Amino acid sequence: MKRIVVITFALGFVGVLASSMFDLGPAAVDLRVPVGAHLARSGVSHPVTAVLLNYRGYDTLLEIAVLLLALLAILAVAGDVRGASPGKAHPVLQTLAQLAAPLMIVVAVYLLWAGAFRPGGAFQAGAVLAAAAVLLHLVGLLPGWGTPGLGLRLGLAAGFAVFLTVAAVLLTQGFLLQYPPEAAGGLILLIEGGLMISLALILAGLFLFLSRDQETT
């Protein structure tokens, strides 16, 4: 009976959400025209990347900060634990994972590079790199992570630190995250490179730091 009640409420909630999505009115502000008009000054040719790292750079900076804080909270609660190796998967699965991981790295680098002029960017590239790490862990080729050392800590904070450093340097010119048009492309690529590394480590860490506890219990 409880399951029926829960399923009924869940389906009703989904129905309400679906109907509200179909009932959405027009956007209060249409940003397509102003974004397109100033796209040449953003340093990139793809409007989504321009919005995320130029016109709404504050939001992206806070997003990486929230993800980093979430991982730090997990580490604070979990305490010091040594990493443990998961059980070994079938050799065929391990071989397939070893073949897939380099391809995933290539895809991640491509997504980072392509983000300037087509769909892609640091968040997508970081997610693919994190997926490669999780895949290697699931087949027993990568142990769960223990207490992070200095190198891993630097990697986790690299994206946020680079983003914050660029913002601080630009602030000396009188503006926060307002890139000079002639340097915008290079600065965005620098920020996205740091974000890719940090996002990959943070997303993988959310899985691998938790899996170490399950493997050691």
Residue 85 — pLDDT band, cuts 50, 70, 90? low
At 148-200, the pLDDT tens digits run 888 888 999 999 999 989 988 888 877 777 888 788 888 888 998 999 999 99
The pLDDT of residue 128: 96
Closest alpha carbon to 69 in 206, 194, 204, 197: 206
In the predicted structure, residue 93 carries a pLDDT above the cut 60 = yes
Q: What is the average pLDDT across 69-92?
A: 73
The pLDDT of residue 206: 85
In the predicted structure, residue 215 carries a pLDDT above the cut 70 = no
Contacts of 139 (CB under 8 A, 6+ apart): 88, 89, 93, 94, 97
The pLDDT of residue 216: 46
| pTM exceeding 0.85 | no
Which string of DSSP letters, residue by residue, matches 60-125?
HHHHHHHHHHHHHHHHHHH-S----PPPP--HHHHHHHHHHHHHHHHHHHHHHHHTTTSS--HHHH
The pLDDT of residue 129: 95
What is the percent of the chain where pLDDT is above 90? Answer: 23
Task: Check residues 36 and 87 and name the one with the higher pLDDT.
Answer: 36
Residue 34 — pLDDT band, cuts 50, 70, 90? confident
In contact, 85 and 215? CB cutoff 8 Å:
yes
What is the percent of the chain where pLDDT is above 70? Answer: 90
Residue 144 — pLDDT band, cuts 50, 70, 90? confident
In contact, 198 and 64? CB cutoff 8 Å:
yes
In the predicted structure, residue 81 carries a pLDDT above the cut 60 = no
Task: Check residues 129 and 4 and name the one with the higher pLDDT.
Answer: 129
In the predicted structure, residue 98 carries a pLDDT above the cut 90 = yes
Handedness of CA 39, 43, 47, 53 (dihedral sign): negative
Local structure of residue 21 (DSSP, 8 states): H
